[in-house]
Amino acid sequence: MNHAGKVVCNSSRFKKTSSILHRLHIRKQKTANFFSTSTVMEKDFTHIIVGAGSAGCVLANRLTEDSSNNVLLVEAGPKDTIMNSMRLLWKIHMPAALTYNLCDDKYNWYYHTTPQKNVDNRVMYWPRGRVWGGSSSLNAMVYIRGHAFDYNRWQDEGAEGWDYDHCLPYFKKAQTHQLGADTYKGGDGPLNVSRGDTSGPLYQAWIEAGKQAGYPYTDDLNGFQQEGVGPMDMTVHKGRRWSAATAYLRPVLGRSNLQTEVQCFTTKIIFDGKKAVGIECMINGQRKEFRASNEVILSGGSINSPQLLMLSGIGNADDLNKLDIPVVENLPGVGENLQDHIEVYVQYKCKKPITLYSAQQLINMIPIGAEWLLKQTGMGATTHLHAGGFIRSKPGVSHPDIQYHFLPSQVIDHGRVDPEFHAFQAHAGTMRESSRGWLKLKSKNPKDHPIIEPNYLSTEEDIVDMRNCVKLTREIFQQKAFDELKGEELRPGAEVQSDSEIDAFVRKYCDSSYHPSCTCKMGAESDKMAVVNNEGQVYGLENLRVIDASIMPSVVSGNLNGPTIMIAEKIADRLRNREPLHMPNTPVYQPKSLSEQR
Which positions are catalytic? 515
| Cis amide prior to 78 (ω within 30 degrees) | no
CA dihedral 524, 525, 530, 534 (to 10 degrees): 50
| CA gap 527, 578 in Å, rounded | 27
For 264-351, strand residue ranges (E) read 264-272, 275-283, 286-298, 314-315, 329-330, 342-350
Q: Decide if 301 contacts 548 (C-beta within 8 A).
A: yes
**Nearest alpha carbon to residue 572 among 44, 49, 45, 43:** 49
Count Cα neighbours of 477 within 13 Å in the Cβ-side half-sphere: 28
**Nearest alpha carbon to residue 346 among 473, 260, 438, 472:** 473
| CA gap 70, 492 in Å, rounded | 55
Q: What is the CA 495 to chain-centroid distance, rounded?
A: 34
| CA gap 380, 141 in Å, rounded | 13
First to last CA, the chain: 37
**CB-based contacts of 216, cutoff 8 Å, min separation 6:** 225, 227, 228, 229, 598
| CA gap 252, 256 in Å, rounded | 9
**Nearest alpha carbon to residue 295 among 112, 67, 5, 59:** 59
| CA gap 235, 530 in Å, rounded | 32
| CA gap 281, 239 in Å, rounded | 36
249 DSSP assignment: I
